[in-house]
Amino acid sequence: MPNLVPTPEFVSYRDVKATVLQRIQEKIWAPDTILPSEVDLALEFSCTRTTVNRAMRELADEGYIERKRKVGTRVLKSPTRHARFAISLVREEIEARGSTYRYALSTCAQIVAPDWLRARLNLSDGQPVVHVTCMHYADNEPFQYEDRWINIASVPWVVDADFNTLGPNEWLVNEVPFTDIEMSFSAVNLAADIADFLGSAPGDASFVAQRTTWLKGDVVTFVNLYHTSGYRMSTRY
């Protein structure tokens, strides 16, 4: 049997992850097996417990193992596959297609959160937000209409942001980290005002990506991204 323990002077979490995964895939650790503790694995791999912990967290996130306090880490019978979506800048997405990107601001205003947004995001009464709508073009053709709300309580310096030349998504990526994200996807019939921006007819179908992000429990932003007909999103596991 080949040596399944990496032997370089420095053992990274990737080394630990690769070896544990190999043992699972080769049924050395069969389904329902309780794996050795992090302390024991750290001793085996001659690395820190932190290194082992990161490797095991990634394997759990990818659906190969299940971790429970006071029970241990168990190999799952069938890996749970997770679809992963890359959250890229729309500018990068357009340029990756070989097209020229152009951005145009439509509206930007500081207002009190409307009731529907306050209820959805659990904001306080009278909570001020920045509301931005803008367009993204590929070779001067409509590509995406962005309707975004930014919570001033979480990002107070947004009131000084200039969205005339830089889109709010790109600004947020540069300025604000996030700890949690929720995404949903749907097909909707376009309202007349949004259809005008996208060069579509009212009632035409549009692929909509809806996203909410939080920073340590505080909502940062809520956005709807409307795409022109024929838009396609792909993901790979």
**Residues 182-229: tens digit of each pLDDT:** 999 999 999 999 999 999 999 999 999 999 999 888 999 999 999 998
Q: Is the pLDDT of residue 88 over 80?
A: no
Clarify whether residues 100 and 60 are in a common domain: no
Query: In this predicted structure, what is the pLDDT of residue 63?
Result: 85
Clarify whether residues 197 and 101 are in a common domain: yes
Query: Out of 74-83, 102-111, 153-162, 201-210, which region has the weakest mean confidence (pLDDT)?
Result: 74-83
CATH number at residue 64: 1.10.10.10
Clarify whether residues 132 and 190 are in a common domain: yes
Confidence at 4, pLDDT banded by 50, 70, 90: low
pTM: 0.66
Query: In this predicted structure, what is the pLDDT of residue 8?
Result: 46
Clarify whether residues 46 and 118 are in a common domain: no
Sequence-separated contacts (24+) of 72-79 with Cβ below 8 Å: 72/34, 72/35, 72/37, 73/34, 73/35, 74/32, 74/33, 74/34, 74/35, 75/24, 75/29, 75/30, 75/31, 75/32, 75/33, 75/35, 76/31, 77/31, 77/32, 78/31
Q: Is the pLDDT of residue 111 over 80?
A: yes
Query: In this predicted structure, what is the pLDDT of residue 222?
Result: 97
Confidence at 1, pLDDT banded by 50, 70, 90: very low
Burial of 25 (0-12, 13-18, 19+ CB in 10 A): exposed
Q: Is the pLDDT of residue 70 over 70?
A: yes
Clarify whether residues 24 and 50 are in a common domain: yes
Which of 75, 99, 124 marks a domain boundary?
A: 75
Query: Out of 77-81, 115-119, 229-233, which region has the weakest mean confidence (pLDDT)?
Result: 77-81
Answer yes or no: is 174 within a domain: yes
Query: In this predicted structure, what is the pLDDT of residue 89?
Result: 87
Identify whether the C-beta of residue 212 lies closer than 8 Å to the C-beta of residue 182. yes
Clarify whether residues 60 and 100 are in a common domain: no
Instruction: Quote the mean pLDDT of the chain.
Output: 89
Clarify whether residues 64 and 161 are in a common domain: no
Query: In this predicted structure, what is the pLDDT of residue 9?
Result: 54
- Per-residue pLDDT of 137-158, as tens digits, reads 999 999 999 999 999 999 999 9
Clarify whether residues 132 and 204 are in a common domain: yes
**Separation between Cα atoms, residue 34 and residue 30, nearest integer Å:** 9
Identify whether the C-beta of residue 208 lies closer than 8 Å to the C-beta of residue 184. no
Which of 75, 107, 125 marks a domain boundary?
A: 75
| Residue 49 structural domain | 13-75
Confidence at 84, pLDDT banded by 50, 70, 90: low
Query: Measuring CA to CA, which residue among 54, 49, 56, 52 is closest to residue 24?
Result: 56
Query: Measuring CA to CA, which residue among 180, 73, 57 is closest to residue 121?
Result: 180
Query: In this predicted structure, what is the pLDDT of residue 40?
Result: 95
Answer yes or no: is 6 within a domain: no
Confidence at 178, pLDDT banded by 50, 70, 90: confident
Confidence at 19, pLDDT banded by 50, 70, 90: very high
Which whole number is the average pLDDT over 94-103? 95
Identify whether the C-beta of residue 135 lies closer than 8 Å to the C-beta of residue 145. yes
Sequence-separated contacts (24+) of 9-12 with Cβ below 8 Å: 11/45, 11/46, 11/47, 11/51, 12/51
Domain tally, the chain: 2
Q: Which residue has the higher pLDDT, 66 or 102?
A: 102
Answer yes or no: is 53 within a domain: yes
Clarify whether residues 40 and 97 are in a common domain: no
